[in-house]
Amino acid sequence: MRVRFFQYQIYRRRFFLAVVMVLLFSIILLIGILSFFVNSWVDSQHGEAQRSFEDIVSRVQREEGRAEDFVWEIYSSSPLMDDTAAFFLAQDTQGYIQLRGENSRNSSVQIASFPAYLRTLLNGREGYVTDAVVTSYDGADKHLRLDEAGNLEIAYGTAMDAEIQDGWLLGDYPVRRSARLEEVIGTVSFWVKGDELFATRHAYIGEYGVIDAQGRLWGSQYQDQHAGDGWLQQAANQEQPSGSFFDGWNWVFYSVQEEPLQRFSYVTAVDLWTLLSVNANMIWMLIAAMALLDLAVISFIYWNTHYDSVFLGYLLGIIERVEKGDFKGVEALPRPKFQGKDEYGLISTALESMSHALDEYILMEYRMKIKQQETAMRALEQQINPHFLYNTLEAIRAKALLEHNPQTAESIALLGGLYRDMVQKGSELLFAEEKELLEKYLKIMQLRYPDSFMYQVTFEPELLKVKTLKFWLQPLAENFFSHGFDRNSEYNVLVVTGEAEGNGWRIRVMDNGAGIPEENLQAVNERMRSGDDHSGHSIGLRNVYMRLAYYYGRGFSMEARNNPEGGACISIYIPNKEASDCIPC
Say what the pLDDT of residue 508 is.
95
- Local structure of residue 214 (DSSP, 8 states): T
pLDDT tens, position by position, 166-211: 788 888 888 887 666 678 888 999 888 888 888 887 777 788 888 8
Residues 371 and 448 in one domain: no
Is there a domain that residue 123 lies in? Answer: yes
Residues 405 and 482 in one domain: no
User: pLDDT for 534-568, tens place per residue?
Assistant: 444 434 788 888 888 888 888 899 999 999 888 99
Say which residues have a Cβ less than 8 Å from residue 39's Cβ, sequence separation at least 6.
none
H/E element, 517: none
* Residue 136 β-bridge partners: 186
pTM, 2 dp? 0.49
pLDDT in the model for residue 96? 85
**Position 513 pLDDT exceeds 90:** no
Q: Is position 287 within any domain?
A: no
Number of domains in the chain: 3
Same domain, 568 and 458: yes
Residue 354's pLDDT band (cuts 50, 70, 90): very low
Domain end residue (candidates: 159, 179, 197): 197
* pLDDT over 70 at 522, yes or no: yes
* 569 within a domain of the structure (yes/no): yes
Residue range 70-87, pLDDT digits in tens: 888 888 888 888 888 888
Look at residues 394, 424, 454 and tell me which one is the last residue of a structural domain: 424
Residue 503: phi and psi, rounded to 5, are -100, 30
Query: 92 and 168 share a domain?
Result: yes
In a domain, 506, yes or no: yes
- CATH for 566: 3.30.565.10
φ, ψ (nearest 5 deg) of residue 147:
-85, -175
pLDDT in tens, 84-116: 888 888 888 888 888 888 888 877 777 888 888
Q: Check: CB of residue 91 under 8 Å from CB of residue 156.
A: yes
Which tops the pLDDT comparison, 226 or 49?
Answer: 49
pLDDT at position 398 over 90: no
Residues 571 and 451 in one domain: yes
Predicted confidence at residue 156, as pLDDT, reads 83
Shared domain for 500 and 399, answered yes or no, is no
Task: Establish if 220 belongs to a structural domain.
Answer: no
Report the distance separating Cα 314 and Cα 308, nearest Å. Answer: 10
User: What stretches of 238-396 adopt beta strand conformation (E)?
Assistant: 242-247, 250-258, 264-271
Residue numbers of the domain that contains 513: 444-575
Instruction: Tell me if 171 sits within 8 A of 189, measured CB to CB.
Output: yes
Nearest to 128 by CA among 219, 257, 262: 219
Q: What is the mean pLDDT of the chain?
A: 77
Residue 102 lies in a domain: yes
Quick check: 458 pLDDT over 90? yes
* Same-domain check for residues 414 and 467: no
Query: Where does 403-450 have alpha helices with state H?
Result: 406-424, 431-448
Q: Answer for the pair 187, 175: CB distance below 8 angstroms, yes or no.
A: yes
Final residue in a domain of this structure, among 181, 197, 213: 197
In a domain, 567, yes or no: yes
Domain co-membership, 372 together with 451:
no
Residue 143 bridge partners (DSSP): 133, 155
Reported confidence tier of residue 355, pLDDT bands at 50, 70, 90: very low
- 412 and 453 in a single domain? The answer is no
Q: Is the domain of 503 the same as that of 532?
A: yes
Tens of pLDDT, residues 297-340: 888 887 777 666 666 666 666 666 666 655 566 556 666 665 54
Distance, CA of 79 to CA of 193 (rounded, Å): 31
The reply to whether 466 falls in a domain is: yes
Considering only residues 582 and 138, tell me which one the structure prediction assigns the higher pLDDT. Answer: 138
Q: How far is 537 from 524, CA to CA, in rounded Å?
A: 11
532: number of Cβ within 10 Å:
10
Same domain for 463 and 552, yes or no, is: yes
Task: Quote the CA–CA distance of 479 and 534 in Å, as a whole number.
Answer: 11
Question: Are both 357 and 459 inside the same structural domain?
Answer: no
